[in-house]
Structure 1
Amino acid sequence: MNSYNFNIDQLNQIYSKWNQENIKLVDHGDFVEIITPFVDNHHDLLHVVMYHKDNQIVISDDGYTLNELKTYEIDYKKSTKRQEFLNQTLNSFGVKISLDSELLITINSLEEYPTQLFRILQCIIRISDMMLTSRTNITSIFFEEVSNLFEDYDIRAISDVSITGKTGNANQFDFIIPRSKKKVEKIIKTINNPTKEAYKSPLLSFLDIKENRSNSEFIVIANDDNKIDKKFLTSLANYEIEVLRWSKKDDWVKELA
């Protein structure tokens, strides 16, 4: 292992110089804009603002972060997992959400400015990770919400089940609710984004196993937080595959038990 002789004073000078060159302050009169070297998901520099309110100094993202989530159609208010992630992140960094959807942190004196600036920046960056969520992971979040619903209602669902169909291919299903004395087996697929083409994957899987599971019910749970395309509904209905809307879960969940 190599040994390095660091000069602490030199390191401090280098860091201070980097800080001065990379963090820019712009005075807009009633607020100061802080341009940082950190980048968002568009690779643009992160900006925050600092202003006085109620005898306190406020550092705010000016609503940028949560507005970006909306742009990406990521609704943290309707997702338990995202809400938990958001709240945990805010609590970790001491950041709050204003009525205008700003992420903000308040400080009592300018001496706190460097520390609190980096706290809110770290918070913004972590929350922005939700925007990097791939379609697969977004789908996974919806799957987890359905799974949690089943647990809340004590529905004996088996998750991630593979069934070999007539073609010899293994078809993956999100849930199977086993047959009981009063009810038939239910085989379930969850679809987070029910576009006009999204019916194809569940339909092919259901058709592949239909011959061997003729006494089973085939069900799709569709996330209608995203608009359900009419073709999605009619294509599945033509093959007697029931589509359950997530927004109506209180109406149908007890029937699955």
Structure 2
Amino acid sequence: MKNSLNAQELSEEYFTWYKENTEYKNIESNIIQIDLPFMDNFSDEISIYAIGLNDGRIKLTDDGWTINNLEDMGVNIKRSKTRRKIFSHQIKAYGVSDIDDELYIIVSATRFAEAKHRLLQAILFINDMFMLASKNTNTLFFEDIALFFEANKIRAVKNVSYLGKSGLSHKFEFSIPGFKEIPTRLIKTMSYANNPMFAKSILTDVEQTKPLLNDPSVFYVFLNDTDDNHKINPDIITLFNQNDVKTVLYSERNTVINELAK
């Protein structure tokens, strides 16, 4: 018997789990360590830091963890002009800055929750995007999809954000505008399609955005199945399909050209 899932219930469960498993610890009078319930590529817990500034604002930072972690895995963003450009564009889409390998956001105290959400989403996306990147190539899964759209005259706009029903922003890697009976198509990507929590995070983006869209919309997630050493978790495909998110294996991308090119 098929086990059905409800996207709204799953989204609420995700937010509850996220809140209950996030820990805050004072490590100095003006610095709080925030331990988040997500794992990095070494299965270590992700932590970010909130630093109180003299002007009353808050700086949220990864303290250089994201880039240093990738370098420990042999992925050096700085040595490739192409990778550095893609990296810079992606973090800017989340409203995140970087200096000396540190990813950070500076905001007023009233915008703390939104900024924490954006920094975490940026860290998760950057780790997913670069995780399977070969040290000897400049192409990334996100860019491969962009080139696929361009080659097939699919008018996709990169990095479009929507304000969700919770008041937090949710970014989609690509948006294809609709017209009359043609729906808007919003697209997420998973380079490393074996991370259930990242998959639930994507589904939450969908569920938080869907109620606020005025026009008919269809949601897609492109999954990277090009690496034989990293198989796609079938539970992730089931999770998306049962919640009306169309999964597209990269090896089967040509099957959706007609519906995306409208």
TM range (shorter): 0.3 to 0.5
Q: Which has the higher contact order (CA 8 A, sep 6+)?
A: 2
Could you tell me the TM-score, scaled by structure 2's length?
0.44
